[in-house]
């Protein structure tokens, strides 16, 4: 069913829209669910996968959510069987997001044996009270237990997610979490500053004056993070992502990507470098050959559409070449390496040096940008404000 013209797409995102309970800050599409609903979702996903498979030659797969680790052994087996049937495996990088409350040794072994080679664990905090405040279903003990389980199952490429600027989180608490998290010796670290998104419990608390933002404290936490991660041997390669520079997994060394450490998340590097990817599952977004398409963020509707033999696409948008290039510039500047001018030219089809001179000059003048003959990138200070810097490149569709 997928129209294939041009080179096959190398990247696949699959959204698993189920969570045991909703976290207070979360605006992703996810909901609690029964086993029957999940079975129905898995059948629909397998069908959708078959339609898109002819257009895929995978280098990276990312199952995110939601909570992919909520799926049981049978459901995972059905999905992995389908991926094998369509010759989508092995993929150089195959990541599954896990919640520490839903990791068992059986499941971890199944995933590892069937081609998953990277797990991203949503830890967020190692402070019990903050975990409660965030509405997480897991405790700090579960993090350590699950981490051991994943290592025991043979995972040697692990990411952990942490959040900072959580209401009630002091610099001392952040520091203690960093100490314990870094001691886990992960291959990758992703961090997120809490954002107050509409339609979340945390946003309602902010509106009611029960919590307040503290930008100075958030900046201090970010500086602490960059310093501590670097001291622990994790190289910053994106605003809030850090990875081991030397490949340490047992799997053969992957062909290196330019400008990023060996354990950088290849799937995300593809996003930041403006690459195409298919998105499957309810609420998933894909970006294929300049067209961004989004599936219905409603599991029932998604399943109904697929069961009727139709793609479950709610909307699609064909970006203008200039709009695409602007987005590509903005995303890529989140990377510490910024944009080599020649690479940008190849990817976006236009030249940063002529199209966005004013934006680059402004960023250099205020200390947020650095320009050399080969590339433009954000300075350490500019990276802290990457979202604001990005605005200068966006807006022309």
Binding footprint of ligand SF4 on the chain (CB under 6 A): 19, 22-23, 26, 28, 30, 65-67, 99, 122
For residue 95, give Cα distances in angstroms to 91, 92, 127, 160, 366: 10, 10, 26, 12, 38
Q: Give CA–CA dist 105/99, Å, rounded.
A: 14
Looking at the Cβ atoms of 67 and 276, the one nearer to ligand SF4 is 67
Looking at the Cβ atoms of 51 and 196, the one nearer to ligand SF4 is 196
Q: Give CA–CA dist 188/287, Å, rounded.
A: 25
In whole angstroms, the minimum distance from the beta carbon of 240 to ligand SF4 comes to 16
The closest alpha carbon to 233, from 214, 216, 252, 246, belongs to: 246
Looking at the Cβ atoms of 200 and 305, the one nearer to ligand SF4 is 200
In whole angstroms, the minimum distance from the beta carbon of 75 to ligand SF4 comes to 17
User: Do the Cβ atoms of 278 and 12 come closer than 8 Å?
Assistant: yes
In whole angstroms, the minimum distance from the beta carbon of 176 to ligand SF4 comes to 22
> What count of other Cβ atoms lies within 10 Å of the Cβ of residue 64?
19
- 219-222 long-range contacts, Cβ below 8 Å, gap at least 24? 219/384, 220/171, 221/164, 221/165, 221/169, 221/171, 221/174, 221/193, 222/164, 222/193, 222/384
Sign for the pseudo-dihedral over CA of 397, 238, 350, 354: positive
Looking at the Cβ atoms of 15 and 267, the one nearer to ligand SF4 is 15
In whole angstroms, the minimum distance from the beta carbon of 318 to ligand SF4 comes to 29
| Strand 158-164, strand 285-288: pairing | unpaired
In whole angstroms, the minimum distance from the beta carbon of 97 to ligand SF4 comes to 8
Looking at the Cβ atoms of 284 and 335, the one nearer to ligand SF4 is 284
Looking at the Cβ atoms of 95 and 328, the one nearer to ligand SF4 is 95
In whole angstroms, the minimum distance from the beta carbon of 283 to ligand SF4 comes to 11
């Amino acid at each position: 069913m997928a129209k294939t013209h041009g080179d096959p797409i190398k990247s696949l995102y699959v959204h698993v829209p189920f969570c045991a309970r909703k976290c207070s800050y979360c605006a992703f599409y996810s909901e609690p669910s029964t086993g029957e609903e999940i079975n129905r979702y898995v059948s629909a996903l397998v069908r959708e996968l078959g339609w898109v498979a002819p257009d895929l030659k995978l280098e990276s797969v990312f199952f995110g959510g939601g909570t992919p680790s909520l799926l049981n052994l049978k459901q995972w087996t059905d999905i992995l069987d389908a991926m094998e049937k369509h010759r989508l495996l092995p993929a150089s990088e195959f990541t599954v997001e896990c919640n520490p409350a839903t990791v068992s040794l059986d499941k971890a072994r199944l995933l590892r044996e069937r081609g998953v080679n990277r797990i991203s664990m949503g830890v967020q905090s190692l402070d019990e009270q903050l975990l409660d405040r965030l509405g997480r279903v897991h405790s700090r003990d579960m993090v350590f237990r699950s981490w051991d389980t994943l290592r025991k199952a043979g995972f040697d490429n692990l990411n952990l997610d942490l959040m900072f600027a959580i209401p009630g989180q002091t610099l001392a608490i952040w520091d203690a979490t960093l100490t314990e998290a870094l001691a886990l010796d992960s291959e990758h670290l992703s961090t997120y500053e809490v954002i107050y998104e509409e339609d979340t419990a945390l946003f309602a608390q902010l509106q009611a004056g029960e919590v307040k933002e503290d930008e100075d404290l958030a900046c201090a936490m970010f500086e602490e993070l960059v310093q501590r991660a670097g001291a622990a041997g994790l190289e910053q390669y994106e605003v809030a992502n850090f990875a081991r520079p030397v490949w340490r997994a047992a799997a053969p060394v992957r062909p290196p990507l330019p400008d990023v450490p060996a354990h950088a998340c290849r799937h995300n590097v593809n996003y930041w470098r403006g690459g195409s990817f298919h998105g499957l599952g309810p609420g998933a977004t894909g970006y294929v050959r300049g067209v961004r398409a989004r599936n219905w963020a409603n599991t029932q509707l998604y399943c109904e559409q697929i069961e009727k033999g139709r793609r479950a696409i709610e909307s699609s948008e064909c970006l203008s070449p200039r709009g695409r290039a602007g987005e590509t510039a903005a995303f890529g500047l989140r990377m510490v390496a910024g944009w080599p001018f020649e690479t940008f030219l190849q990817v976006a089809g236009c030249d940063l040096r002529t199209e966005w001179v004013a934006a680059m000059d402004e960023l250099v003048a205020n200390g947020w940008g650095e320009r050399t003959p080969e590339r433009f990138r954000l300075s350490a200070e500019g990276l802290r404000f990457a979202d604001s810097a990005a605005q200068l490149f966006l807006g022309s569709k």
